[in-house]
């Protein structure tokens, strides 16, 4: 996979979008600093030096965007858990990296990584850009301390950002070359932080309503819950919080 390294850019997603025509079928760009990093729902993502900020471009891919998003999220998750496994020191915080639907990665109750997907359609092609941010060695701003964490804090040591980046890209390439829909879905379910039956609070982004209930499953791209009022609801865009985190 072709890789591009930038000292600074507004957003790695935007960089790939601007240079779409001249780039190869699959490539990735990483920046030391993003000045306009974005998360889901147009939220600002603090992207200071020391973190891993990168995007992957898939031009006219054979797979659908949601499959590519799962592949990138799982590739990142697997690389983080490999870092955790290789450390195995007394100072390492106990826990495991897990996915929180649809694409965030958490360590216990604190977020370490997010994923942002952008689909670009032209008269002759469809393209997908997956942006990933991982808190690695970067300091966290004050308002994020309680709800976010970086890898350096978890492992009690400085992390080689470039090495972690290439580990993730290798995972992506392996999953693409050995693609199995059944394996992908099984891995996605097995690594979910929020299992079926988990008591959650859901903010419906589209209608700006809150619901509380238990998770039924993750059919397609949606999250389904059974609410306390006896309703069965499906969400394609929503913020989900474990009720136990609020206790």
Closest to 200 (Cα-Cα) out of 238, 237, 147, 149: 238
- The CB-based long-range contact list for 135-144 (8 Å cut-off, 24+ gap) reads 135/51, 135/111, 136/50, 136/51, 136/52, 136/161, 136/164, 137/50, 137/51, 137/161, 138/46, 138/47, 138/48, 138/49, 138/50, 138/51, 139/48, 139/50, 140/46, 141/46, 144/46
Tokens of 204: 């419906």
Q: 188: helix, coil or strand? A: helix
CB 101 within 8 A of CB 223: yes
pLDDT at 38: 60
- pLDDT value for 30: 97
Distances (CA, A) of 140 to 48, 118, 210, 218: 9, 26, 29, 31
How far is Cα 103 from Cα 77, in angstroms, rounded to an integer? 10
Count Cα atoms within 13 angstroms, Cβ side, for 132.
31
Q: What is the pLDDT of residue 90?
A: 57
Domain ranges of the chain: 2-190, 199-246
Query: How would you label 181-200 residue by residue, b for 16+ Cβ within 10 Å and e otherwise?
Result: eeebeebbeebbbbeeebeb
Would you mind telling me the total number of residues written for the chain in this entry? 247
Dihedral sign computed on CA atoms, order 78, 84, 85, 87? positive
Q: What is the pTM of this model?
A: 0.91
Helix (H) or strand (E) holding 31, with range, is strand 26-34
* CATH architecture assigned to 199-246: Roll (2.30)
What's residue 43's pLDDT?
Answer: 58
The arrangement of secondary structure in 2-190, i.e. its CATH architecture, is 2-Layer Sandwich (3.30)
Q: What does the pLDDT read at residue 121?
A: 84
pLDDT tens-place values along the chain, 247 residues long: 999 999 999 899 999 999 998 999 999 999 999 887 665 545 556 678 999 999 999 998 999 999 999 999 999 999 999 999 887 765 677 788 999 998 899 998 899 999 989 999 878 788 999 999 999 999 988 887 888 999 999 999 999 999 999 999 999 999 999 999 999 999 999 999 999 999 999 988 888 889 999 999 888 889 999 999 999 999 987 888 886 775 4
């Amino acid at each position: 996979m072709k890789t591009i390294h930038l000292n600074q850019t507004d957003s790695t997603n935007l960089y790939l979008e601007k240079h779409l025509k001249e780039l190869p079928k699959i490539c990735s760009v990483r920046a030391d600093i993003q000045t306009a990093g974005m998360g889901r729902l147009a939220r600002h993502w603090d992207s200071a030096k020391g973190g891993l900020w990168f995007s992957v471009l898939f031009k006219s891919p054979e797979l659908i965007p949601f499959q590519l998003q799962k592949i990138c999220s799982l590739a990142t998750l697997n690389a983080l858990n490999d870092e955790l496994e290789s450390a195995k020191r007394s100072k390492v915080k106990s826990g495991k990296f897990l996915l929180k639907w649809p694409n965030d990665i958490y360590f216990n109750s604190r977020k370490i990584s997010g994923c942002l997907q952008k689909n670009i359609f032209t008269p002759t092609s469809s393209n997908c850009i997956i942006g990933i941010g991982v808190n690695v060695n970067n300091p966290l701003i004050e308002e994020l301390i309680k709800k976010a964490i970086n890898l350096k804090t978890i492992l009690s040591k400085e992390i080689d950002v470039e090495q972690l980046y290439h580990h993730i890209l290798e995972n992506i390439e392996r999953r693409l070359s050995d693609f199995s829909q059944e394996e992908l879905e099984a891995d996605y379910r097995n690594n979910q932080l929020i299992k079926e039956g988990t008591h959650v609070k859901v903010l419906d982004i589209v209608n700006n309503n809150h619901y509380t209930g238990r998770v039924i499953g993750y059919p397609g791209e949606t999250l389904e819950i059974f609410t306390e009022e006896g309703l069965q609801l499906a969400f394609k865009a929503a913020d989900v919080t474990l009720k136990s985190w609020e206790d």
